[in-house]
Structure 1
């Protein structure tokens, strides 16, 4: 029983880490240690290279490319290149018809998005650009996307993460919940990190400075390459900031079946990076204790639905068995939910249809059980598992 109590206590501590980091951030703000805001560099706008890795993406590649071509940004200051990776459909032809360059890669032995990006970067004059942004092929960007990246400040020596919104929020209860949780993350958690200078996790649309690439190269090849970049930059003390004015819209899986492989991949990628890069963050001399705590908390966080499932199961176990300190353990587990619930309320408050979004959370119990199953499946994917593309569907949000 003592061993079980210690195990539950360890899980409770891990689930409370993000809350501890946020409390430290709030304490810094309360004592006047807010990070000063950054301003766009004087002179010409930064030169940007947009890479669009794509594997059999004929359904969405045109809308993605056209949104990039139509950005309100000087055409001489950016370049769009599609990387058609082991494609057997019309992805490359459609990309060229939409008006951009397309590099075709045929290497069935080493498929995958990070491998395709590394291959393309070796062929392109990345030194001519201030930063490289990676845009997934099922994404559309806001017309002011490039301007939003430029407004985040100097780009060459850091990474920035745009607001990764949901492209199809009204398709189903799953997509409505995803939209609320995205708002919770970007309008709540990331703004707090930005205000005190903590690194922001990277995902779709991440933009990496040219000098960062020159020093570190492209060394992220796991199925969670965005998390790997985040962990690597944190360990080396390289800033990754939040570009709140740069918006892009990614398609969200609208059913549980459709999203299964994606959720397993996301969690397996995070856990793999935590195991591989976590010790580097803990040992780093380039960052302070708060940044270490926050980065490790981000990598260890299971996501809101799995978090809820763990608290429910383990809290019930702590109360139903004669564990030493069972009530205290259950209280700690429940307390860890305050943070995600608070951010979810922020997301609901900013939703254009808050009542419908709230109604979608009636599906949360089923969704939580499903996510717990997906998390269990993710454990079998730890390491360098092959990438499995999420099934696409045709309904789009303009």
Structure 2
């Protein structure tokens, strides 16, 4: 039973890490907010990269949103038509973007396509590279929001990755609430105390000095989490930029979402396994950043977090190992952060009560999410990237 207590205690402590890190951040915030950087004299020169695999239905609207930005003519939009078998390249050019065509069946996938494109383009002509998914609409003020935060070439940013179809289904509404909880509250707190925000694939902005110094070395199926781990280890600042909005199509059904969730889970486990050691040994970052990064990399997501708490609490209550009361207290405490952020995310919705109704799906979603997490274990390691199905 002592072994069981130790195992349950370790899992409970991991689940508590995000709450502990945020509490420490609140103490730091109370001691004084960071000073904001002054905008540069000239707006940064931006290169928007849009990796696209068979995206003929979505690519034109994405390109048009990029070209319609209310921003000085100091940006370029480039589509990477990666192993496409449709009209993606032609439609991208017709919409006004430059287009690179890549055909490499041996090395498929978004991370490889981006790495290849970065070798084909004159990065020295730009201050930052922004990765945009092909199903995305970029806000007209995106560039101006990025220009307002000071010099960008030596930093990385994550834009507010919002939901384009928030009212389609209960699933998309729930995703909208959780996105608001993250970007408006959780990541904003990190920004205010100088901790790195996660990179989330769509809307990643990477300064060209960062790329020149550290390169693009993320090739797992969760390249965003791998970049977060690598850049954090190397001391690169990664800031959440909630003022820069982009809107992407959220999966409307559990079937559509399944591939995506399995990829995220397997990729994150792979990144954690490969990089947590070097992150903890890094001399480029302090203890607070190490704690927060480990909390992010081990966090299973809000729904899986709740599922794990329920399972672990059930095991503890039934088997009653030594220290059961303390285990239950820690597990319950781990839900404080999750609950506060979810309520805050609901509060900023235009119709909070309607949005709250979407959580009626939660019991079914909990069971489904556990199933996808188990299935994801088969994808851990260097597995091929799989595209999310769409209507």
- TM norm structure 2: 0.98
After TM superposition, the structure 1 = structure 2 runs for residues 204-219 of structure 1, keeping only pairs within 5 Å, are: 204-219=202-217
Secondary structure at the counterpart of residue 211 of structure 1: helix
Specify the alignment match of 2:229 in structure 1.
Answer: 231
Secondary structure at 2:4's aligned position in 1?
A: helix
- Cα distance in 2 between the residues matched to 1:290 and 1:267: 25
CA RMSD of aligned residues (A): 0.8
Alignment match, 1:129 = 126
Structure 2: gaps of 5 or more residues: none
Using the TM superposition, give the Cα deviation of residue 38 of structure 1 relative to its aligned residue in structure 2, in angstroms: 2.3
Structure 2 distance, partners of 1:370, 1:217, is: 37
Quote the residue 2:35 is aligned against.
Answer: 36
Match of 1:9 in 2: 9
Task: Report the alpha carbon displacement of residue 269 of structure 1 after superposing the two structures with TM.
Answer: 1.1
2-side partners of 1:175 and 1:48: how far apart?
Answer: 31
- Match of 1:192, SS? helix
Shift of 1:39: 2.7
Q: Which residue of 1 aligns with 2:319?
A: 321
Partner residue in 1 for 2:68: 70
Q: Which moved more, 1:142-151 or 1:104-113?
A: 142-151
* Cα deviation digits, residues 302-346 of structure 1 (max 9, x gap): 000000000011101101113111122122111101101100011
Local SS of the residue matching 1:244: strand
> Pairwise mapping of residues 351-362 of structure 1 onto structure 2 (< 5 A)?
351-362=349-360
Of 282, 288, 291, 1:290 maps to: 288
Tell me the residue number matched to 1:382. Answer: 380
Provide the residue aligned with 1:271 in structure 2. 269
Structure 2 residue aligned with 1:25: 25
Equivalent position of 2:156 in the other structure: 159
Deviation at 1:152, TM superposition (A): 2.1
CA distance in 2 between partners of 1:39 and 1:346 (Å): 30
Measure, in 2, the Cα distance between the counterparts of 1:29 and 1:145. 27
Verify: 1:143 aligned to 2:140, yes or no.
yes
Could you tell me how far apart the structure 1 residues matched to 2:144 and 2:363 are? 40
| 8 A contact 2:259–2:386 mirrored in 1 | yes
**CA–CA distance in 1 between the matches of 2:148 and 2:56?**
32
| Partner secondary structure for residue 164 of structure 1 | strand
More deviation, 376-385/48-57: 376-385
Structure 1: runs of 5 or more not aligned: 394-398
1:185 pairs with 2:185? no
C-alpha offsets along residues 37-83 of structure 1, whole Å, 9 cap, x if unaligned?
A: 22311x211000000000001111111111001111112x0000000
Please give the alpha-carbon distance, in whole angstroms, between the structure 2 residues aligned to 1:288 and 1:370.
38
Q: Confirm or deny: 8 A CA contact 1:151 1:245 kept in the other structure.
A: no
Distance 2:349 2:372 in 1: 27
Residue 246 of structure 1: how far off its partner (Å): 0.5
Q: Is the 8 A contact 1:316 1:330 kept in 2?
A: no
Determine the C-alpha separation between the residues in 2 that align with 1:152 and 1:366.
42
Using the TM superposition, give the Cα deviation of residue 268 of structure 1 relative to its aligned residue in structure 2, in angstroms: 1.0
Q: Distance in 2 between matches of 1:201 and 1:3?
A: 34
Deviations 1:147-195 (A, max 9, x none): 1111122100010111110111101110000000000000110110011
> Which residue of the partner structure matches residue 82 of structure 1?
79
1:19, 1:37 → 2: CA distance? 26
**2:114 matches 1:107:** no
* CA deviations over 1:65-108 (Å, ceiling 9, x no partner): 11001111112x00000000000011111101101111000000
Deviations 1:330-374, CA, capped at 9 Å, x for gaps = 221111011011000110000112111100101111111111111
C-alpha contact (below 8 Å) 1:138/1:250 kept by paired residues: yes
Q: What are the Cα deviations for residues 229-264 of structure 1, in whole angstroms up to 9, with x where unaligned? A: 111111011100111210001111011011001001
State the distance in 2 between where 1:174 and 1:2 align.
41
